Structure 1
Amino acid sequence: MRARTRLAIGAISAVAAAGFLAGCGGAGSSGTQAPATGAQGAGCAPVAGNDFVVLDDDKKLQNSDNIIPAINSEAAQPQLVAALDKVSDSLDTPKLIGLNRAVGVERKTAKVAAEQFAAANNLTAGIPTGGTGSIVVGAANFSESQTLGELYRIALSAAGYQVRVQQIGNRELYEPALEKGDIQVVPEYAATMADFLNNKVNGKPGAASPPPISSPDLNQTVDGLKNVGGKVGLSFGKPSAAQTQNAFAVTREFADKHGVRTLSDLAAKCSGAATVLGGPPECPQRPKCQAGLTQVYNFNAGRFSSLDAGGSQTKSALRRGEISVGLVFSSDGELAR
Structure 2
Amino acid sequence: MRSRNRIALGAVGALAAVGFLTGCGDAGSSGTEAPAGDASGAGCAPVPGEQLVVLEDDKKLQNSDNVIPAINAKAANPEMIAALDKVSDALDTDKLIQLNKAVNVDRKTPKVAAEEFATANGITSGIAKGPGGSITVGAADFPESEILAELYRVALTAAGYDAKVQQIGNRELYEPALEKGEIQVIPEYAATMADFLTGKTGGASAPPISSPDLDKTVSGLRDAGQKVGIVFGKPSAAQDQNAFAVTKPFAEKYELKTISDLAEKCSGSATILAGPPECPQRPKCQAGLVEVYNFKAGSFSSLDAGGPQTKSALKSGAASVGLVFSSDGSLATS
Q: Give TM-score, length-normalised by structure 1.
A: 0.92
1:232 aligns with 2:228: yes
Which position in structure 1 is the counterpart of 2:6? 7
1:319 aligns with 2:315: yes
Which position in structure 1 is the counterpart of 2:113? 113
Which position in structure 2 is the counterpart of 1:126? 126
1:41-120 to 2 correspondences below 5 Å:
41-120=41-120
Question: What's the secondary structure of 1:276's corresponding residue?
Answer: strand
Structure 1 letter corresponding to 2:73: S
Which position in structure 1 is the counterpart of 2:328? 332
Which position in structure 2 is the counterpart of 1:168? 168
Question: What's the secondary structure of 1:249's corresponding residue?
Answer: strand
Contact 1:277/1:324 (8 A) holds in 2: yes
Give the Cα–Cα distance (whole angstroms) in 2 for the partners of residues 76 and 317 of structure 1: 46
Shift in Å, 1:198: 0.3
Question: What's the secondary structure of 1:74's corresponding residue?
Answer: coil
Structure 1 letter corresponding to 2:131: G
Structure 2 letter corresponding to 1:319: K
1:119-198 to 2 correspondences below 5 Å:
119-198=119-198
Structure 1 letter corresponding to 2:237: A
Which position in structure 2 is the counterpart of 1:37? 37
Give the Cα–Cα distance (whole angstroms) in 2 for the partners of residues 129 and 53 of structure 1: 42
Match of 1:304 among 300, 304, 317: 300
Which position in structure 2 is the counterpart of 1:272? 268
Instruction: Give the direction of change, closer, same or farther, for the CA distance of 1:87–1:13 in structure 2 (3 Å limit).
Output: farther
Contact 1:84/1:152 (8 A) holds in 2: yes
Instruction: Give the direction of change, closer, same or farther, for the CA distance of 1:155–1:256 in structure 2 (3 Å limit).
Output: same
Give the Cα–Cα distance (whole angstroms) in 2 for the partners of residues 131 and 5 of structure 1: 31
Shift in Å, 1:12: 6.6
Contact 1:32/1:303 (8 A) holds in 2: no
- Is there any run of 5+ residues in structure 2 with no aligned partner, and where? 14-26
Instruction: Give the direction of change, closer, same or farther, for the CA distance of 1:247–1:238 in structure 2 (3 Å limit).
Output: same
Match of 2:207 among 206, 211, 214: 211
Give the Cα–Cα distance (whole angstroms) in 2 for the partners of residues 184 and 3 of structure 1: 22
1:245 aligns with 2:241: yes
Structure 1 letter corresponding to 2:185: V
Contact 1:37/1:301 (8 A) holds in 2: no
Question: What's the secondary structure of 2:122's corresponding residue?
Answer: coil
Contact 2:8/2:63 (8 A) holds in 1: no
Shift in Å, 1:104: 0.3
Contact 1:64/1:214 (8 A) holds in 2: yes
Instruction: Give the direction of change, closer, same or farther, for the CA distance of 1:40–1:224 in structure 2 (3 Å limit).
Output: same
Question: What's the secondary structure of 2:218's corresponding residue?
Answer: helix
Give the Cα–Cα distance (whole angstroms) in 1 for the partners of residues 316 and 139 of structure 2: 35
CA RMSD after TM alignment: 1.6
Structure 1 residues 264-307: Cα deviation after superposition (integer angstroms, max 9, x where no partner)? 00000000011000000100000000000000000000100001
Structure 1 letter corresponding to 2:8: I
Shift in Å, 1:30: 2.2
Structure 1 letter corresponding to 2:322: G
Aligned residue pairs, count = 320
Shift in Å, 1:6: 2.8
Shift in Å, 1:9: 2.3
Question: What's the secondary structure of 1:75's corresponding residue?
Answer: coil
Structure 2 letter corresponding to 1:245: Q
1:260 aligns with 2:237: no
Contact 1:137/1:152 (8 A) holds in 2: yes
Contact 1:12/1:196 (8 A) holds in 2: no
Structure 1 letter corresponding to 2:5: R
Structure 1 residues 92-130: Cα deviation after superposition (integer angstroms, max 9, x where no partner)? 000000000000000000000001001111110011113
Instruction: Give the direction of change, closer, same or farther, for the CA distance of 1:38–1:234 in structure 2 (3 Å limit).
Output: same
Contact 2:3/2:169 (8 A) holds in 1: no
Contact 1:66/1:243 (8 A) holds in 2: yes
Contact 1:28/1:306 (8 A) holds in 2: no
Structure 1 letter corresponding to 2:161: Y
Structure 2 letter corresponding to 1:144: E
Which position in structure 2 is the counterpart of 1:287? 283
Shift in Å, 1:210: 1.3
- Is there any run of 5+ residues in structure 1 with no aligned partner, and where? 15-26
Which position in structure 1 is the counterpart of 2:20? none
Structure 1 residues 56-104: Cα deviation after superposition (integer angstroms, max 9, x where no partner)? 0000000000000000000111110000000000100000000000000
